[in-house]
Structure 1
Amino acid sequence: MNVQTNSTLQVDKGWRIWWNLTRPHTLTASFVPVLLGTVIAADSTNIHIPLFIAMLLASLLIQAATNMFNEYFDYKRGLDNEKSVGIGGAIVRNGVKPSTVLNLGFTFFGIAILLGAYISLTSSLWIAVIGFICMLVGYFYTGGPKPIAYTPFGELSSGFFMGVVIIQISYFIQTGYISSISILISIPVSILIGCIMLSNNIRDLDGDKKSGRKTIAILLGRSYAIALLAILFIISYIWIIALVIFTDISPWLLVACVSAPMPIKAVRGFIGKSDPLQMMPAMVATAKTNTIFGFLMSVGIMIGYYL
């Protein structure tokens, strides 16, 4: 009985090591844009389910791989240790070889390329070009001699590529074109994805500063970075209200406003704190804001189609 119990615990621990390595709380930043882009397309065409699934899997794999590259390169640069907050910890806490983490990231990229080939052959070869650029951004976000994450452009690049670009790809592979509405709807989600990165940089501000990073949070200082986070949240909600007022999109889009308590919780969770562990709930609330906001937008759009 004890042997069986120990084996079960080992399997459970092993599974959790690899699952945590993907940083699952960040994966909704890939899921939400694919869902939203596909839902927007449903008003113009019948959804091609295999394409939707392929796009979703490819996006999740690229995001997970990007997180693994982050884990690997931050370890190599001496930024992560056993006490680091917000990391998978596979290398510094669980003894996984750095090369294994790196190779797993490239394996995920490889599978994503195969899915991308299917998507491109089914829709347009331009998708292969755009997808490759997205993968390069994912790798160089923390890889290479001058990682994007170490500059003031981390939030902008992640928000643009994971928000605007993924939503437009998801829309295009279903319809064969891009619309002004698909672009306009992608903006608030892109902002919220950037907020996830900003909240991460607010949490890690002190450590990042010591390592020589020049993130927006460091350049602005903690108080102003928190204020910027609050402003970006407000812009996201004002944006969808403006869409309802100035376009012919369904008022049901406003159901996304139900998520408003979550960003308030996030901002309050950062105010007056400097310990990374204390700020983790605020960062989680920021990620949940993107998830709930994007999901409710999708629901609102779908309801609007049928009412």
Structure 2
Amino acid sequence: MNAQSSPEIHPDKGWRIWWQLTRPHTLTAGFVPVILGTVLALGKTRIDLMLFAAMMVATLLIQAAANMFNEYYDFKRGLDNEHSVGIGGAIVRNGVKPKTVLHLALAFFGAAILFGAYICAESSWWIALIGSVCMLVAYLYTAGPFPISSTPLGELISGFFMGVIIILLSFFIQTKTITWPIVFVSIPIMILIGAIMLSNNIRDLDGDKANGRKTIAILLGRKGAIILLAVMFALSYLWMVGLVLFGVVTPWVLLVLVSAPKPVRAIKGFIGKSEPIQMLPAMKATAQTNTIFGLLLSISFLVDHFF
């Protein structure tokens, strides 16, 4: 097996093919915002668990579908092969027909729409408009003649929609309102989700550059992109400290500082590395930063609410 290939997954392994196709390491960008938005709503209302579950499933379906669209369109453009790192590999390594991946992604979108209809019926039909825009962005992230992922705006757009918008939607369907403190609290999650995308682009920098992409990592160069990633990590933590100092949130949120070793590990994991396979631990640490930071932030609001 090539040193840069993912672990071998054969068609007879069944569920593992489809699980890898969802790119589970990226799903933190789906479940963390929903959990945080719902916990924030707990301070204002009694949580509707059915709405929470529907929002969680719909968001994860859209995230997984976006990953499948990525798999399909990158294959169609000739960007992926059996040695590509960080992909599901269903098409190039497991022999799954490209159309099957595309149809599965569309089926996930269809299922998300059904859950979305329930959410709208129980909250507001304005959610349908916002949800439709989120799905369109998820599709256009890698589809169309000018994929968002190939531009310098990929990190900003993905972070905004998966971070800010999903948190606000999760809060709104429970409370029927939006407040500025919730917007402020969503900012570091937006930054950290953008950091996940940036870590992907740092890993793929050489291949993306050869294929004519213009990601922020390519424009800044590898060293500059790693510095930007470090700045994004630092800003996420400093933002929470600032919210405490300005009295927007309680000091309980400083619990997120416990997760600080993870981004340090991520940055160290990228420095001096040039081969994609060498950067996988750093990418994992970046995704874990969002997960741990988001869950600790959620726990801090739970503690503040009950105690």
> TM-score of the superposition, structure 1-length normalised?
0.96
* 8 Å contact kept, 2:10–2:17: no
Aligned length: 299
Partner of 2:152: 152
Change (3 A) 1:11 1:198: closer
Matches within 5 A, 1:110-259: 110-259=110-259
Partner of 1:66: 66
* 8 Å contact kept, 2:21–2:89: yes
Matches within 5 A, 1:90-105: 90-105=90-105
* 8 Å contact kept, 2:181–2:248: no
* 8 Å contact kept, 1:159–1:194: yes
Write the distance in 1 (CA, Å) between the matches of 2:298 and 2:11.
Answer: 37
Partner of 2:3: none
* 8 Å contact kept, 1:253–1:297: yes
Write the distance in 1 (CA, Å) between the matches of 2:62 and 2:306.
Answer: 34
Write the distance in 2 (CA, Å) between the matches of 1:183 and 1:305.
Answer: 19
Write the distance in 2 (CA, Å) between the matches of 1:115 and 1:44.
Answer: 24
Partner of 2:20: 20
Give secondary structure in 1 for the equivalent of 2:89: coil
Alignment root-mean-square deviation, CA: 1.1
* 8 Å contact kept, 2:30–2:60: yes
The offset of 1:247, in angstroms, is: 1.9
What fraction of aligned residue pairs are identical, expressed as a percent?
Answer: 66
* 8 Å contact kept, 1:251–1:304: no
Partner of 2:86: 86
Write the distance in 2 (CA, Å) between the matches of 1:12 and 1:36.
Answer: 38
The offset of 1:233, in angstroms, is: 0.2
Write the distance in 1 (CA, Å) between the matches of 2:197 and 2:245.
Answer: 30
* 8 Å contact kept, 1:74–1:142: yes
Q: Kindly provide the CA deviation profile for residues 112-159 of structure 1, in whole angstroms up to 9, marking residues without a partner as x.
A: 000000101110111000000000000000001110000001000100
Structure 2 portions without partners, runs of 5+: 1-8
> TM-score of the superposition, structure 2-length normalised?
0.96
Give secondary structure in 2 for the equivalent of 1:221: helix
The offset of 1:306, in angstroms, is: 1.7
The offset of 1:248, in angstroms, is: 4.3
Q: Residue type of the partner of 2:212?
A: G
Partner of 2:302: 302
Q: Residue type of the partner of 2:273?
A: K
* 8 Å contact kept, 1:141–1:148: yes
Structure 1 portions without partners, runs of 5+: 1-8
Q: Kindly provide the CA deviation profile for residues 199-235 of structure 1, in whole angstroms up to 9, marking residues without a partner as x.
A: 0000000000001000000000000000000000000
Write the distance in 1 (CA, Å) between the matches of 2:163 and 2:10.
Answer: 38
* 8 Å contact kept, 1:269–1:281: yes
